[in-house]
Every structure is written in structure tokens, then in C-alpha cells.
Amino acid sequence: MRSYFLQGLFGRDLLGSIVVFLVALPLCMGIAIASGMPPAAGLITGIIGGIVVGAIAGSPLQVSGPAAGLAVLVFELVREYGVASLGPVVLLAGLIQVIAGIGKVGVWFRMISPAVVAGMLSGIGILIVASQLHVLIDALPKARGLENFAALPGALISAFKGETGSVAALMVGLSTIAIMLGWEKLRPQALRFVPGALLAVVIVTATVSVLGTPVNKVDVPANLFAAVSLPTFSSVTALAQPPLLVAALTFALIASAETLLSAAAVDRMHNGARTHYNRELTAQGVGNMLCGVLGALPMTGVIVRSAANVQAGSATRMATILHGGWLLVFAMLLPWLIRMTPVACLAGILVFTGLKMVNIKQMKSLAEYGRGNFVVYAGTTLAIVVTDLLTGVLVGVALSVLKLALQSSRLQVGLADHEEPGMLTLELDGSATFFKVPALTRTLEQVPPNTRVLLDMDRLHHVDQACLEVLTEWGRNAKARGCELVVDWKLLHSRVEGLRQAA
């Protein structure tokens, strides 16, 4: 501890914690509202993510808290099964993460294709924008993304007619977005640590208060502990329902993947201690179990807050812990200040955040690694928007597996002249899998009558049963056309197992 203070590390962590706190405060409340939960639920998650998870995390500079990536799932769960179901589901999801971390499977979560994760974030960003555009006019969002887009023109017309919603709230939300966008473009270097979201909240809230603009305000209890909702026996036993078990598993998988990919990104931003993935996964599980017990939102490691932590010069995990302490102090001592914040202002922050999640640069980066990656990304995004988050992710994983299968089955098939008259060489270069059965069949159909065909296997890495049966059948029927297939069958069968061995 003495060297920690003498080396100036405490000063760096103190400044970093304040910066992260300023970034996290509006996002915690905004994500809670987008999830259909009270803002206090988001603050509790942010506090646990800072103080508890920050102290035991495997990634010292990663910051955990409520994530926009889970807002859609939480919203659907709360709408279908009620608020009481959230705590037990998050508790079970956390338990799954703890077991996975102790079982040392943390690194396996990184096997998920980056294209699937990018598509997941883009799809979530689009859904957040679709729902928060309704909140932007003080109207209630619909249950599904496509429904939100379809209902938006009517909601805007109603707001301008004064029937439902509020034009004043729309102006508040658009002003918030304009301030954040302007600050991002014009921010002085000396004030780079000031987050645009906080600046927008301060300016817009002060303006609304001075003008007395009639818009919906954030509702938080005077006592933060009043927002705690402990699981009941009936809510815990309800976990026996298959949909809730699937929801818990989905929370665990998506939260773990997002956390560990975020941790890997944080590692690339600094030269300090590297992430211990199993410990990080266990810490996230402990945090989510606590959030489940208290009825708060689920948490993940969040790249926005983590990047702010690194960029602010934080040196150790103390910065993350202190940021959680600032959230606790602010929520306990200044709830009246939070209640002055317009809901449309937080919706504007989330619309801005959702649009940023649809990262154009990332699309271009994925395309550089091949069109297949972009297809996986686009398919995942579209499936999430059209169906739901779990279905979209499964579609993305399926597309990734299909892309891998296609890439691993690359095979060049051709007929070449042989030095011996009346003989051709069938050249197979690559892996002969069932994907290449049509190409292999078409090539064999081109063999003229009364021709001997020598199978060249020098560059054949693997052959599966489907292609083996094509060759066997053609060789069996070749005599009817005066043809013959010349092949070392022992060597060919060895390639079924992917082995290179002599005959």
C-alpha cells in the first residue's frame, strides 16, 4: 500500500474512478428504463459491478455493470413473466457462470465468432433505437423491434396532435443527442475526460428545470434499499418452467461472451496485467448472483466504461472499486438530483448508444476477412431484429459453422492428360466432403468411354463417406463404358480418417 501511494497510483485510480462514474451514472439509469425496470435497479447493478466484482475480477481494468446488450432480453422477460421472475433468473445465470469459471471453461466462450458478437451488438443496438424512439416522446414502447418501427409514425403523429406522447419530450431527447454528437466532434483535448452523456444530462436537466418543461422525470426512491426485491419461494420455484431455464442459460451465455470479448479488447488497450478468463467469469457469476438476490439487472463487463477507465489512466482495480463507491454515495445521498432528470434525456443517450453499436468500421473490418464473415454478421443482425436475441445468436452460430464447413471443404477437381495413351488423371486438391459431391460427379461424367482414370491423391487431405461412395460407385459401374478407376483403395480409405499414411 505504501508503494501504491508513493508511486502516484492512487491519484491515477482516483481520477479514473471519477471519469468512469460520470460515464456509468446516466447509462445505469437509462439501461434500466430500456429494460422495463426502475432506474434504481440499474444503479444497484452498477454498484455491485464496481465494488464487489471489481475487487475479485480477473481483468483488473475492466468495469462491470448493466449492459445494453442484455436490455432486450430483460425487457422481454419482464413483459412475459413479470418483475418477480427477473431476480431468480439472474441468480441462476450467475450460478451457471460461477460453475463455468470454476470448471475452467472461461476461455471456451471466446470461441464464439467475432462476426456473431458484432452482429449481436448491432442487432441489439437497432432494437434499442427502435424502442427508445418511443420513450423519446414519452410514449410506451412495443414488445418487438419490428412492431416499434411500424408503430413509430403513428406515435409521432399522435404526439404532434397532442393525443399521446409529448413534443416537448422529443425536443429534450433530440437536444440530448445533439449535445453528445457535438461534444464528440468538438470536445477540447483538455476536457477529453468529460463524458458527453453527463454533459448532456446536466445541460438538458438544468434547462428543463428552469423552463418548467412538462416531461416525464426519472423516478427513484429516497432510500436505495427500498428498490431491493428479494426472491420469494414462489418466484424461485417458478424456475422449473422451461422458458425461464432457457432465459437463465441465455443470460449466462451472452453475458459471458460479451464480458470475455470485452476483456480481450481491454487487454489490447494497455500493457498491464492480462486477463485471467476463468477468474473473470467466476467474478461475473458472483456479481450476477448478488444482483439476482437483490432483484437488480444482470451485469456484464462493459467495453464503453472499461475503455474510459483505461483512457483515464487508471492503474489498478481500485479505480473500478471507487467508481462503484461513487455510485453508492450519489444514489444514497442525492436521489432528489436524480429525480430531476427527464426520461427523454436518458432515452436520447440510449438512442445515441444504440446507433454507435451499429459500428460501420467494424462491418468493413469483418468484410476484410472475407465475405463469409460479413454474411454471418448481417444474418445475425437481421435475425435478431426480426425474431429475438436468442434465435438471432443461434442463427449466427449456425451460419458460422456453415461458413467453416464450406471453407474446410475447399476442393479443386480436375481431369488432366496422362503420359500413357487412353488414360486420364483425376486430380483432387483439398478436402473432399459432401459439399463437393456435385462437382466430383460432374467431373466423372466428363470421362470419355474406354478411358482408364488414375486417382491422384498427393494433395488430397481428407475424403468423407459421401465422396468415397461416389468414387466407389463410379469405379464399380465404369466397366459398362469400357472405363476403369485406378486407385490405391487402402490409401484412399485412410483419408476418410484424415490420415496421411503409406499404403
pLDDT at 190 over 80: no
Pairing of strands 299-302, 423-432: unpaired
Q: Are residues 203 and 350 in the same domain?
A: yes
Q: Are residues 285 and 434 in the same domain?
A: no
Split at pLDDT 50, 70, 90, the class of 85 is: very high
The answer to the question of residue 303 being in a domain is no
Give the relative orientation of helices 9-34 and 196-211 as an angle to the nearest 10 degrees.
60
Q: Are residues 422 and 398 in the same domain?
A: no
Q: Are residues 353 and 416 in the same domain?
A: no
Q: How far apart are CA 488 and CA 503, in angstroms?
A: 7
Domain ranges, residue 356: 81-298+335-403
Q: Are residues 237 and 375 in the same domain?
A: yes
Which contacts (CB < 8 Å, 24+ apart) does range 394-401 have?
396/113, 396/115, 396/116, 396/119, 396/120, 397/112, 397/113, 397/116, 399/116, 399/375, 400/113, 400/115, 400/116, 400/376
Split at pLDDT 50, 70, 90, the class of 110 is: low
Domain count, the chain: 2
Given this model, what pLDDT does residue 500 score?
39
Final residue in a domain of this structure, among 367, 385, 403: 403
Lowest mean per-residue pLDDT among 33-42, 51-60, 309-318, 403-412? 403-412
The answer to the question of residue 311 being in a domain is no
Final residue in a domain of this structure, among 346, 370, 403: 403
Q: Are residues 343 and 488 in the same domain?
A: no
Q: Is the pTM of this model over 0.85?
A: no
**Cell triple for residue 126?**
437497432
Determine what percent of the chain falls in helix, strand and coil, rounding each to the nearest 5.
70, 10, 25
The answer to the question of residue 391 being in a domain is yes
Q: Are residues 479 and 353 in the same domain?
A: no
User: pLDDT digits over 148-170, tens only?
Assistant: 889 889 989 988 888 777 899 99
Q: Are residues 346 and 477 in the same domain?
A: no
Query: What would the mean pLDDT of 452-481 be, rounded to a whole number?
Result: 87
The answer to the question of residue 456 being in a domain is yes
Q: Are residues 398 and 428 in the same domain?
A: no
Final residue in a domain of this structure, among 403, 426, 446: 403
Q: Are residues 243 and 341 in the same domain?
A: yes
User: pLDDT digits over 338-378, tens only?
Assistant: 889 898 998 888 888 888 878 777 777 777 767 788 889 89
The answer to the question of residue 330 being in a domain is no
With contact defined as beta carbons under 8 Å apart, do 220 and 38 qualify? Answer: yes
Q: Are residues 288 and 396 in the same domain?
A: yes
Q: Over the chain, what is the mean pLDDT? A: 86
The CATH number of the domain where 478 resides is what? 3.30.750.24
With contact defined as beta carbons under 8 Å apart, do 137 and 167 qualify? Answer: yes
The answer to the question of residue 463 being in a domain is yes
Q: Are residues 399 and 430 in the same domain?
A: no
With contact defined as beta carbons under 8 Å apart, do 59 and 270 qualify? Answer: no
Q: How far apart are CA 105 and CA 99, in angstroms?
A: 9
With cell 481500485, the residue in question is 318
Q: Find, among 93, 82, 104, the residue nearest to 45 by Cα.
A: 93
